[in-house]
Structure 1
Amino acid sequence: MLNQANHDTDDAAPLDMLEAYFAAHGWEHSRSDEEIVASVKGSWTTYELRALWREEDGVLQLLAFPDIKVTDDRRAGVYEAIGLVNEQLWLGHFELWSSSGTLLYRHAALVDGGEEAELSLSAAELIVDSAVDECERFYPVFQFVLWGGKSPKEALAAALIETQGEA
């Protein structure tokens, strides 16, 4: 696990910090000047994380793809589910790309500093962990709507049931 003790500085350029974070977790990743892509194994599926750095705007955008494609005949239900799910979120949001039917989670963070912009370890951890956590939390909602024959409200209620103990 990456922590302040084994990282050379408290802050780093946004993509450098994310690259160090991904490497510390042993996640497969690739990097270019303005983008880093990682593969993260969750309990439901493997998520593709894609971070884009827009230096001119000071914005780091993180996209998480839960490997869900939505066919045209299922879009109305998924759009309703997205609306219900997004009401539950404090950071980021889910959306559906109309051209491809790809479901994704998106979060953008303002990072001050222009060319000298730096991202803290705690900010990197918050951005990445919240994306993965929300994808894990709401993955069943979309599956219930797509394949389980549930309405979006039923799917959300079923997915958010708190279980106690272990089987």
Structure 2
Amino acid sequence: MLDEAEFDREDAAPIDMLESYFAAHGWSHEREDDEIVAKFKGSWTEYELRAIWREEDGVLQFLALPDIRIAEERRASIYETIGLVNEQLWIGHFELWSSSGILLYRHAAMMSDEEDGATLSLDRAELLVETAIDECERFYPVFQFVLWGGKSPKEAIAAALIETQGEA
């Protein structure tokens, strides 16, 4: 969480707000007109965070790409896994790009169209980014159990999503 006292609380154009958010966290990022790409080191892997602003539609598309590529022979089990994982999500979804085998999390946010153009608040930017990271971190082990652990999708979800209670 950002220290709100150190961050400009004014709403901004979606890509501008995300650029400020990434910079405030010290994450490396590159920006073009309607797109920004940042790198974030999670618990399991490094993620590419990508936002694309489609002004004509008023939609901000946010992608989180964990460093996972799926070989052709493993795709059937991953498609089943994605289906089971997506049942657990309220916002966003996982998908597999068939042309490249890249696994990703995607969420599209409709932005209100104000007279001066659509804006994104700090709170909404934080929710968008943190939700994507949290879901990737939560389900990364599931995909790894299927790909490398020899588990079925149902076994992988059961093993990865065990809730522990208390302290050791």
Pairwise same-fold verdict (TM > 0.5): yes
Aligned to 1:36: 36
Q: Is the 8 A contact 2:143 2:156 kept in 1?
A: yes
Structure 1 pair 121–3 and aligned structure 2 pair: CA distance change class (3 A): farther
Aligned-residue CA RMSD (Å) = 1.4
Segments of 5+ residues of structure 2 without an aligned counterpart are none
Which residues of 2 match residues 106-125 of structure 1 at below 5 A? Answer: 106-113=106-113, 116-125=117-126
* Identical counterparts, % of pairs: 74
Provide Cα deviations, 1:74-118, integer angstroms capped at 9, x if missing partner.
Answer: 001000000000000010000000001100000000011266111
Give 1:3 deviation, angstroms: 4.3
CA distance in 2, matches of 1:166, 1:43: 20
Provide Cα deviations, 1:33-80, integer angstroms capped at 9, x if missing partner.
Answer: 010000001000000000000011110000110010001110010000
Aligned to 1:10: 10
Which residues of 2 match residues 13-162 of structure 1 at below 5 A? Answer: 13-113=13-113, 116-162=117-163
Segments of 5+ residues of structure 1 without an aligned counterpart are none
CA distance in 1, matches of 2:130, 2:33: 23
TM-score normalized with structure 2 length: 0.95
Q: Is the 8 A contact 1:3 1:121 kept in 2?
A: no
Give secondary structure in 2 for the equivalent of 1:38: strand
CA distance in 1, matches of 2:126, 2:5: 15
CA distance in 1, matches of 2:29, 2:2: 16
Q: Is the 8 A contact 1:4 1:10 kept in 2?
A: no
Give secondary structure in 2 for the equivalent of 1:134: helix
TM-score normalized with structure 1 length: 0.95
The alignment covers a number of residue pairs equal to 167
